[in-house]
Structure 1
């Protein structure tokens, strides 16, 4: 025999869930403007935090219960427009703060709304046919799966990064953009002058031109040297600057004497540089660099008179 709650008990249970949703909305709303990942935080925290938009607008929909006023396409259209306007307002209010504006968040906001509307019993979705209702559920489910799948992919990526040591980068990666910033392109192992995977660095005549490694194993404790292999295809010497800093530096005032800085002179052909990590540790004035939280490795040229190309072949710890 099927058990069903009396109508008044079902209504009471629904009100309890509505109140809990209101509490969740009130508690979560401040996090649109305070807290959350900063610009120094890794990609996994940022990706996971983005999923909070879906949760917040799902709770908001449960709290407001717009199906009490509208049904069918009217319900979906009005609610979607309102969420778009609210989401745009949030993004505009975040402009100029420490939070980054991300217009993809507006899609996540809509997904939170749509997930709740699609999960409603079909009988309450007046003027939506059974086929339409289930089609919406499949489409929204696929979009939700794509969002969570992206975060899962970032988690797998970051796990692989944590396992790289003593290497700091996997040169077999087809796309360096999740790990590097700058004008860089991967070069296959069968390219001229190359016997392995490498990265091509395109240097321009702007004041600072180069690349920055920002996603790599951060714990350098237990190693003595940083090894960098570069190939200079030009027929003359030229210099590049190398900068290394920890998280404390990123969170500070970016002072020159609060990080490690050195000059690398590249001869024509292959070049190998070995840097003593004790010098890196002792580089900041008045403190020791946190070798457990190295945050950025930047290789760049300054004031060159014509564009140049350099190839990075290896970067690792020993």
Structure 2
């Protein structure tokens, strides 16, 4: 039977098979950013193929039809995103824009005489920027996962993309190299920063080591949190991750975390040391603003 199917029929079947993936399936929330980015690029490809197929059967003969197609795709995109919020996904205006980019490029392919040149040029520019973003994300993921045993030394221009919290490169206090990471933390019940995803595979190492600078003139208690992907996608119970507090004296403090303790920290299971996802550092009940500085975060086998 497949021998009798024309390429156009196979394309129709492919689009029908892909359509449910707008609502079910796809990479998990803890997949590497490049995987999630690549998946989302599929929006542009899907609508490019779908609208190209539509134009094959219903040729575009005027700018009014071009406008109708674009408005219809905008409405369909809005409906898709609203439905996705009901099935555990987030509303994404960027994905809506990707749908319109794919649609516009398909119209340029099938009906360019009825499409304003500036519209197709703008869509092409957005696609190029999206592909550049994908390449940059792929490079960042590759760097983070290949630079072990180093986790972060803040020396590179792209050192901060996966850090969450008010952290920036700084030269105020540095233990090694030219830069450190400095977080301007506010007073509150929980103030800190985290790196997610971090270097994934911690197997073969015995310790996590980092340098932490306490700028205040009194001791502070810093809590380090480490968890794997299984914890990140669960209810995130406190007893299912590593949490340990360390006393910081004024000035620089070397912190050493035995990875045997990290592996055995979750109650009732062993942490997956080849699936580490988040490294967090925070203060509980910080009573005044604090500039926390981090440097030379790495694994060791000493």
Residues 22, 59 of structure 1: 8 Å contact kept: no
Structure (1 or 2) with the larger CA radius of gyration: 1
- SS at the partner of 2:291? strand
- 1:313 corresponds to: 295
Write the distance in 1 (CA, Å) between the matches of 2:173 and 2:16: 60
One of 16, 22, 38 as aligned partner of 1:32: 22
How much does 1:127 deviate? 5.3
* Shift in alpha-carbon separation, 1:256–1:59, aligned structure 2, 3 A: same
Report if aligned partners of 1:67, 1:75 keep a CA contact under 8 Å in 2: no
Specify the alignment match of 1:149 in structure 2: 132
Contact kept in structure 2, 1:18 and 1:62, CA below 8 Å = no
Does the 8 Å CA contact 1:228/1:272 hold for their aligned counterparts? yes
- Structure 2 residue runs of 5 or longer lacking an equivalent are none
Does 2:40 align with 1:50?
A: yes
- In structure 1, how many angstroms separate the alpha carbons of the residues matched to 2:7 and 2:62? 23
Q: Report the 3-state secondary structure (helix = DSSP H, G, I; strand = E; otherwise coil) of the residue aligned with 1:312.
A: strand
Check whether the contact 1:164–1:170 (CA below 8 A) recurs between aligned residues: no
Q: TM-score, normalised by structure 1?
A: 0.86
Q: In 1, Cα distance between the equivalents of 2:127 and 2:173?
A: 45
User: Pairwise CA RMSD of aligned residues?
Assistant: 2.3
- 1:84 alignment counterpart: 74
Specify which of 253, 277, 290 is matched with residue 272 of structure 2. Answer: 290
Change (3 A) 1:270 1:74: same
Q: CA deviation at 1:137?
A: 5.0
Structure 2 CA distance for aligned equivalents of residues 187 and 240 of structure 1? 20
Q: 1:35 to 1:118 in 2, by over 3 A?
A: same
More divergent stretch after superposition (225-234 vs 154-163) = 154-163
Task: Please tell me whether the aligned partners of residues 154 and 179 of structure 2 are also in contact (alpha carbons under 8 angstroms).
Answer: yes
Equivalent residue number for residue 242 of structure 2: 260
State the Cα distance separating 1:149 from its structure 2 match. Answer: 2.0
| Bigger shift: residues 81-90 or 35-44 | 35-44
The 3-state SS of whatever aligns with 2:286 is: coil
Cα deviation for residue 309 of structure 1 reads: 1.5
- Once the two structures are superposed, the pairs formed by residues 166-315 of structure 1 within 5 Å of their partners are 166-174=149-157, 176-188=159-171, 191=172, 196-315=178-297
Q: For 1:41-100, what per-residue CA distance to the aligned partner results, in whole angstroms no more than 9, with x for missing partners?
A: 221011101111012112221332278354242232111111111101111111143222
1:136 to partner: Cα distance: 5.5
d(CA) in 2 for partners of 1:237 and 1:138? 58
- RCO higher in 1 or 2 (8 Å CA, sep ≥ 6)? 2
What is the TM-score when the length of structure 2 is the normalising length?
A: 0.90
Aligned to 1:8: none
Deviation beyond 6 Å, 4+ runs, structure 1: none
Q: Give the SS at the match of 1:47.
A: helix
Residues 197-241 of structure 1 show CA distances to partners (whole Å, capped at 9, x for unaligned) of 111122222221100111322101111110010011100001111
1:127-166 to 2 correspondences below 5 Å = 138-166=121-149
Q: Given that residues 199 and 313 in structure 1 are in contact (C-alpha distance below 8 angstroms), is that contact kept between their aligned partners in structure 2?
A: yes
- Structure 1 portions without partners, runs of 5+: 1-14
Alignment of 1:63-78 (within 5 A): 63-65=53-55, 68=58, 70-78=60-68
Structure 1 residue 147, shift from structure 2 partner: 1.7
